[in-house]
Structure 1
Amino acid sequence: MIDSYFDGGLLQLIGYKLFGFLLTVCTLGIGAPWAIWLIYNWEINHTVINGQRLYFDGTVLNLYAHWIKWLLLTIITFGIYGFWVCIAVKKWKTKHTHFI
């Protein structure tokens, strides 16, 4: 059986999370998709499953486009679609995650 592991470090995670938080706060939330993308990209690119490294090909612009669509759907449905946004984000993340 081939090992699965994560080779990212704690200091890297703290740095990415802190940068993402500051980016989101300093841009009044506009930078949130970029912060989310940074963390997903780091997390996935440091993951190995059954000896195969994962890579992430999602882009910030693609996430922004989806983010705007999800925001509009949430507004149009008076917040109801907001319950499905976390599922939509997971689907987007999964769609752009591949084995090398």
Structure 2
Amino acid sequence: MSINVNEKNYPPTSGPPMGSLSPGTKVFQFRGGAATWFGTQILGVLITVVTLGICYPFAVVLVERWRAQNTYLLGRPLKFTGTGWGIFGLWLKWLLLCVVTLGIYSFWVYPRLTAWKIESTVLS
């Protein structure tokens, strides 16, 4: 299924600086489709299940790249610069801490992983 986005509702690429935008201005646009999302999710699940969660960072990178490639800020595409290897060491540490603390440490993993995802997303 495809959703048609009315391009005139979004500011142009060479639009005004962020500080001069009025409240209510549409800043973000998402153009992703169901088929590519489904394929990305299936691949991510396979990577995670086959490796028993060890390679979850690589699945995260797949999904985040898809999200960034389909998201636009003031008409400019985003780009995800993170790599699976870039978060792999932290993921192993977090996984071990979750096992040792019987899952309690998982409350700290989500905010840290989210921060890494946001900090690894840039304007293209």
Both proteins in one fold, TM over 0.5: yes
Question: Which residue of structure 1 aligns with residue 18 of structure 2?
Answer: none
Which residue does the alignment assign to 1:40?
Answer: 64
Q: Secondary structure at the match of 1:58?
A: coil
**What amino acid is aligned across from residue 47 of structure 1 in structure 2?**
T
1:28 is paired with a residue whose SS is coil
The number of equivalent residue pairs is 100
Structure 1 or 2, whichever has the larger Rg, is 2
Give SS of 2:54's match. coil
**CA offset at residue 80 of structure 1?**
2.5
Once the two structures are superposed, the pairs formed by residues 17-96 of structure 1 within 5 Å of their partners are: 17-96=41-120
Query: Shift of the alpha carbon at 1:78?
Result: 4.5
Alpha-carbon deviations, 1:22-70, whole Å to 9, x = none?
A: 2222222222221111011111121101112111110110121220122
Give the drift of 1:19: 1.2
- Give the secondary structure class of the aligned counterpart of 1:98: strand
Instruction: Let me know the Cα RMSD of the aligned residues.
Output: 1.8
CA positional deviation for 1:73: 3.2
Indicate how the Cα distance of structure 1 residues 70 and 46 shifts in structure 2: closer, same or farther if over 3 A, else same.
same
- Greater helix percent: which structure? 1
Identity percentage over the alignment? 38
Letter in 2 for 1:24: T
Provide the secondary structure at the position in 2 that maps to 1:55: strand
- 1: CA distance, partners of 2:113 / 2:89: 12
Q: Pick 1 or 2: higher relative contact order, CA cutoff 8 A, min separation 6.
A: 1
Amino acid at match of 2:83: T
SS at match of 2:44: helix
Instruction: Give the Å deviation of 1:79.
Output: 3.2
